[in-house]
Every structure is written in structure tokens, then in C-alpha cells.
Amino acid sequence: AIKPIAIILLIVLAINLGHYLRNYTLFDSVLGMAGTGETNKEFGVLISISGILKNLSLHADIVRNLQLEKIISPTTGLTNKVLEIIHGVLGIDLNDPALISPKARKFYVPGLSTYEDTAGNPLHLLLIIGSLFVLTINKKIWTNKLLIKYGIVLVVGFVLFASLLTWSPYRCRLHLPLFILFSPFVAIVFSKSLPKQVSYFLAILVLFLSYKWVLFNSVRPLIGENNIFQSSRVEQYFQTQPQYQQFYLDEVVRVESNQCENIGLTFKSSSFEYPLLVLLNENYPKQIQHINLENESKILIDKDSNSNFENLNNDCIINIDRSKLKN
């Protein structure tokens, strides 16, 4: 048992060690900067119950997911009302700022979305809950100890997630790894408990109902207007932040017309950096570095002797201020 645990720890360290070292250097903690509003300020059993329910509500729009809205009223409003009642019983404010991310400010049950940051998985959640229920009543599967342990780990992982992190509609995307990890669990439970025809039907249903997200993703659709085959790579970089596109393109023209090789970047209220780095290095390589930093990472620049752009030739400085860009 020790060997598998050691392997898991090595994998975790291999993936995260660089981040841990950076965080410890800057914030004296491997967990990163404190006070971001992304972790709960209060903890406890009731707080955990609240977090679990609010996170599950991100995947509550099962009616629209099954495309039954023409015959059944969507469940988002009902879910919101039920949560209000439950939180009244728990004595917890549904909109307690100590339990909600600053990015959200107010709790609500989101409807079905094809936007990648807020797209829920109602059908997948229903299948997971169904598989857990089937597991409890089908004692034949209980002999599969590995499956039981696997399921417990996933459930505990979700409980920890919901208990530690504040609620936000953008938590949907962070649930994705758990949904993926639950896939083999659901498949094994159903294949061992249900008739083959039912299992096949569920598999086909999931595949069919995924078409909306696969084909009509609101940011990068496969078909329709502005699909990925008709949009250039540069245009796709800016699909979620179009206000940056023309400014970045103009700055790249300015940099290259002046034959700058050493570029200093200053960001104000923005971190949309990747597209600019790609565009700057398209025609010839350049040295690019952040300057005039005002956050905690400033100490790393101060230690770097190469950060003094005043001593370099052909310098260009690009100032990015999101508040001055036109939407």
C-alpha cells in the first residue's frame, strides 16, 4: 500500500512543485495568496451543507438539458426557492459574502449555458446521483472494494471542494475533473446493475444531448456563424476578450516598426497576456518581461539583473489598462 501512495505523492509533486515553490517564495505559503475571497471565511458542518447544495445547484437545469422545456417548466426557479427555504432552516444567509466569491456577489441558480466558463452538467450529475443510489441497493457490487473506495474518494473530494471554496457560477469549470473521474464509476455501476439495453440507451442519450456544447459552443462553435473553421487563429484568441484585439495588433505593429527586441509589459487591472505574447513573437524572437510591478511578484523582478530595461537597446514598453479599452 505504501508504494502506490508514494507514486501518487510523486506525481502530485511533479505537477505542482513549481507552483508550490513560487507561492512559498511570494506568499510564505504553498497555497498561495490569502484574502482573495475564493476560500470560505467560515467553516462547519452547516457551512459544508450549504456549500454542497449551492455547488450542486450549478447543474440543476435538467429540464432544458433534456430539452423538455416545452412541456415542463425549467427547474431553476424552483431550485432557488428550495435552497432559500433550506438555508432559512440552517440559519445561513444564502448571500452571505463570507461564503460567496467577490466575482459573484449574489447567489442564483444559473440556467443551462453553452459558455465554457459556466456550462453545467445536469444530466451527468443525475447519472452520478443515480449510480450512487444503485450502488447502495445492489449488494452484489459491494464486493468490488476498489470501486467502493474510488467512489468514496470522489465524494469526499467534492465535499472538501464545496466546504472550502466560496460559491461562484464559474465553479462549474472546476467541477469538470470530478465529472470525468466519475465517468468510469458510473459506467461500472450501471453495467453491473442495469440491463444492457438500458445502459446502451443511457450512453446514446448522453452522446446525443452533448451536440449543443460540441457544435454550438458559444465561444468556439464548430458550425454556424463565427465557427472555428471560418475564424482565424488570431480572432479565436480574442473570442472572450474582443476589446483587446485591435489594441494588441496595433502595439505589435508599433514594436516591429521600431525593431524592438526587448519589450517591457505593464498590466493594470488585467492579466490577458497570452495572445500578446504569441503575436509579439510571430515574426522574430523578442525578450519580453513585466516591469513596474506593484504586486507581490515584484521581489522576483528586483532580484533579476536582466529586468533593468533602461540598459537595453531598442526598448519598447506596452502599457495595458483594461479600463481604457473599448468593448
Contact 111, 61 (CB under 8 A): yes
Q: CA 200 to CA 209: how far, in whole Å?
A: 14
The pLDDT score that the predictor gives to residue 308 is 54
Contact 110, 120 (CB under 8 A): yes
Say if strands 287-290 and 262-268 run parallel, antiparallel, or are unpaired: parallel
The pLDDT score that the predictor gives to residue 309 is 54
The pLDDT score that the predictor gives to residue 327 is 62
Q: CA 297 to CA 282: how far, in whole Å?
A: 27
Strand partners, 315: 262
Strand order in the sheet with 315-321: 287-290, 262-268, 315-321
The pLDDT score that the predictor gives to residue 270 is 76
Q: CA 143 to CA 301: how far, in whole Å?
A: 57
The pLDDT score that the predictor gives to residue 306 is 55
Which residue in this structure is represented by grid cell 484568441? 237
The pLDDT score that the predictor gives to residue 58 is 96
**What torsion, rounded to 10 degrees, do the Cα atoms 189, 194, 195, 198 define?**
-100
In whole angstroms, how large is the CA radius of gyration of the chain? 24
Spans of the chain below 70 pLDDT: 1, 301-314, 326-327
**What torsion, rounded to 10 degrees, do the Cα atoms 244, 245, 248, 254 define?**
-140
Is the Cα torsion angle 212, 213, 217, 223 positive or negative in sign? Answer: negative
Q: CA 309 to CA 237: how far, in whole Å?
A: 28
Beta-carbon contacts of 142 under 8 Å, excluding residues fewer than 6 positions away, are 135, 148
Number of Cβ within 10 Å of residue 60's Cβ equals 23
Report the predicted TM-score, pTM, of the whole model to 2 decimal places.
Answer: 0.84
